[in-house]
Structure 1
Amino acid sequence: MNTDFTIDEFIRKGIITDELELERALIADRKLRLLAKDNLHFKNLRKKLRNLIEAYERKEWSDIGQLTDEKLAESNFWETVAEQERIFIEKRKHLIRKELKIRKLIQKDLAHLLGHKSKTHMSELMNGIKPFTLKDLILIHQLLRIDIKELIPVFLSKEDMIRVQSALAELGKPHIKLCS
């Protein structure tokens, strides 16, 4: 997983470039749908994200003649990767909330402990819209006693996966594989 992934990154780039980004954007859109009900910032972010999703889908998926079995298989693969990321983020959010409750703390208290001032920013972190910093995750681990493996994602980016698989092929080491 590219742990630097943020919706702001898509907005700043102004384009979704591949299927993994599309799948991440679709998941983010679903999260923003709930958050946008109460917050204008999230509503505006969702509108911009939806425009990028629609542009990508028009470009890549509107021509039925372009749809190959390979393209569908690639889409399914990256959908699975994005879903694993979503599940990880949801599980982490629930673990953090559970430990906060046990310690009679609220999300606002955690934000203060981490040095974050904005309620919106903390919500974005908890919901996986923006990534926690490594420092944030270490502090959460130390404060809430959550296993660090439950806090830090260990997914590789698409680019890193391809690079390592290519390097393994060049080295002639088929017995070494990336774990999934």
Structure 2
Amino acid sequence: MDSQLGLKKIIEKGLLNSELELERASIMYRRLRLFVKDHPEFIEQKKMLQDIIMAYEDKHWVKAEITTQQVEENDLAELIAERENKFTMHRKQLITSKLKEKKLTQKQLGMILGHTSETYMSELINGIESFTLNDLTTIHKLLNISMQDLEFKSLDRFNIS
């Protein structure tokens, strides 16, 4: 779970430390561009994330100094981040369809999970923030979705830095 940094953790940290974090942040930024249309209160976080991404790229992607190893690391990081993104979108579809099936709303699910923020459940389902293992266990039991479909098995073992 910890491998997938949420927006708040990235902003708190204020920087990215690897190509994989860059790719994850880039995907999150794309999600945020859509998310802010319905939640304009996230415009500032979107800007902060953009600045963090740009700072990483300015530091690590100086055109005259790009190495073959750097390109290979980026390609692998992009592959991992895209797999995570596909997984997240599939999980979103499963959760929303099971909620409809059981005639529950995201807000009601949020209340069951103990989340009080109006938008937090949407952030979780859209992959802007990461579910806790406790959240996923409750969703598994409540909506009868397998843990394999809820918890992404990280590919961080490739040790991308």
* TM > 0.5: yes
The count of corresponding residues between Structure 1 and Structure 2 is 160
Cα distance in 2, alignment partners of residues 115 and 10 from structure 1: 23
Give the C-alpha shift of residue 116 in structure 1: 1.2
Deviations 1:78-107 (A, max 9, x none): 000011111111111100001011111111
Match for residue 170 of structure 1? none
Give the C-alpha shift of residue 64 in structure 1: 1.8
Cα distance in 2, alignment partners of residues 49 and 31 from structure 1: 12
SS in structure 2 of the partner of residue 36 of structure 1:
helix
SS in structure 1 of the partner of residue 38 of structure 2:
coil
Whether the aligned pair in 1 keeps the contact of 2:140 and 2:146 (CA below 8 Å) is yes
TM-score under structure 1 normalisation? Answer: 0.83
Whether the aligned pair in 1 keeps the contact of 2:16 and 2:53 (CA below 8 Å) is yes
Q: What stretches of structure 2 of length at least 5 have no aligned partner?
A: none
Q: Point out 4+ residue stretches in structure 1 off by more than 3 angstroms.
A: 1-4
Cα distance in 2, alignment partners of residues 64 and 154 from structure 1: 34
Match for residue 45 of structure 2? 45
Cα distance in 1, alignment partners of residues 144 and 32 from structure 2: 29
Give the C-alpha shift of residue 14 in structure 1: 1.2
TM-score under structure 2 normalisation? Answer: 0.92
Whichever residue aligns with residue 136 of structure 1, its letter is D
Larger radius of gyration: 1
1:7-156 matches, cutoff 5 A: 7-61=7-61, 63-156=62-155
SS in structure 2 of the partner of residue 91 of structure 1:
helix
Give the aligned CA root-mean-square deviation in angstroms: 1.7
Whether the aligned pair in 2 keeps the contact of 1:3 and 1:131 (CA below 8 Å) is no
Give the C-alpha shift of residue 44 in structure 1: 1.1
Cα distance in 2, alignment partners of residues 70 and 55 from structure 1: 20
Deviations 1:133-169 (A, max 9, x none): 1111111111111111101111143xx544xxxxxxx
Cα distance in 2, alignment partners of residues 50 and 94 from structure 1: 27
- Give percent identity, aligned residues only: 43
SS in structure 1 of the partner of residue 128 of structure 2:
coil
SS in structure 2 of the partner of residue 42 of structure 1:
helix
